[in-house]
């Protein structure tokens, strides 16, 4: 059972802070959102006649494909380590792996987790993330076997629900699910409104950074 105790996370929801951090990571907000939207457009073609779970597999596969098409080049490269479809940056020592998240993806007040339970590979990645390199901080040697730290491109894409997504940095893992993220970068909330004014905006155009306490439902 997932621990429901409150955990403190840094949740970034506002544009200029998000863009600044992503720039340090050598990523772009538009590129990440495009990868998420491409995955959703491909998932939407699935029907009840497809194999059970194929919609989730499609989101994972197509998000990885589009991440590679957008970012791979002089700095980023394809990565299939640990049998994960990812991209990695040998200069910043960061990886990005897509993952299907639950309905709390993109919700700044409630911590999400993965929809499909992950195995020991993800457990090891989150443990290593607790001590490994972070953009903007001194270079700290990762634990043995973790030359790269892993960020998760969490996506919630299901029929009848708005598309939601975030880029998150897991540091705890239990019962085959992520249970704590040190940093969450909100990409798509599902309604794309400014939390302060209530006005409609495009994804990522709101501007807020907050250190808040969040809980799992």
Q: Is the confidence at residue 202, as pLDDT, over 50?
A: no
d(CA 52, CA 47) in angstroms, rounded, equals 10
163-174 pLDDT tens trace: 999 999 888 877
Dihedral of alpha carbons 83, 87, 90, 92, sign: negative
d(CA 32, CA 27) in angstroms, rounded, equals 8
Query: Is 125 part of any domain?
Result: yes
103-145 pLDDT tens trace: 999 999 999 988 865 555 666 666 656 543 333 322 223 323 4
Q: Looking at the DSSP assignment, which residues form a beta bridge with residue 101?
A: 114
Question: By residue range, what is the domain housing residue 41?
Answer: 7-214
Query: Is 96 part of any domain?
Result: yes
Query: Is 118 part of any domain?
Result: yes
Q: Give the per-residue pLDDT at 148.
A: 83
Helix 15-24 / helix 29-43 crossing angle, nearest 10 deg: 100
Q: Is the confidence at residue 208, as pLDDT, over 80?
A: no
19-60 pLDDT tens trace: 999 999 999 999 999 999 999 999 999 999 999 889 999 999
φ/ψ of 120, rounded to 5, equals -65, -25
Q: Is the confidence at residue 190, as pLDDT, over 60?
A: yes
Long-range contacts formed by 52-56: CB under 8 A, 24+ apart: 53/116, 55/157, 55/158, 56/100, 56/115, 56/116
Q: Is the confidence at residue 9, as pLDDT, over 60?
A: yes
What is the maximal distance between C-alpha atoms in the chain?
Answer: 51
Query: Is 1 part of any domain?
Result: no
Query: Is 2 part of any domain?
Result: no
Q: Give the per-residue pLDDT at 146.
A: 64
Encode burial over 81-102: b for 16+ CB neighbours within 10 A, e otherwise: ebebbbbbbeebbbbbbbbbbb
Quote the number of domains for the chain: 1
pLDDT class for 63, splitting at 50, 70, 90? very high
**Distance between the two ends of the chain, CA-based, in angstroms?**
12
């Amino acid at each position: 059972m997932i621990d429901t105790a409150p955990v403190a996370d840094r949740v970034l929801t506002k544009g200029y802070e998000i863009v600044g951090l992503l720039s340090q990571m050598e990523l772009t907000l538009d590129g990440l959102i495009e990868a998420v939207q491409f995955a959703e457009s491909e998932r939407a073609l699935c029907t009840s006649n497809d194999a059970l779970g194929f919609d989730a597999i499609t989101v994972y596969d197509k998000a990885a494909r589009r991440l590679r098409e957008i970012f791979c080049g002089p700095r980023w490269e394809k990565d299939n380590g640990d049998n994960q479809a990812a991209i990695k940056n040998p200069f910043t020592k960061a990886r990005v792996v897509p993952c299907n998240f639950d309905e709390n993806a993109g919700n700044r007040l409630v911590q999400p987790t993965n929809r499909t339970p992950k195995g020991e590979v993800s457990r090891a990645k989150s443990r290593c993330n607790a001590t490994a390199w972070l953009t903007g901080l001194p270079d700290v040697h990762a634990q043995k076997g973790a030359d790269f730290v892993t960020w998760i491109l969490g996506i919630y894409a299901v029929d009848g629900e708005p598309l939601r997504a975030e880029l998150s940095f897991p540091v705890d893992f239990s019962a085959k699910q992520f249970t704590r993220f040190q940093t969450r970068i909100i990409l798509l909330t599902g309604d794309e409104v400014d939390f302060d004014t209530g006005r409609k905006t495009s994804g990522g155009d709101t501007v807020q950074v907050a250190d808040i306490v969040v809980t799992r439902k």
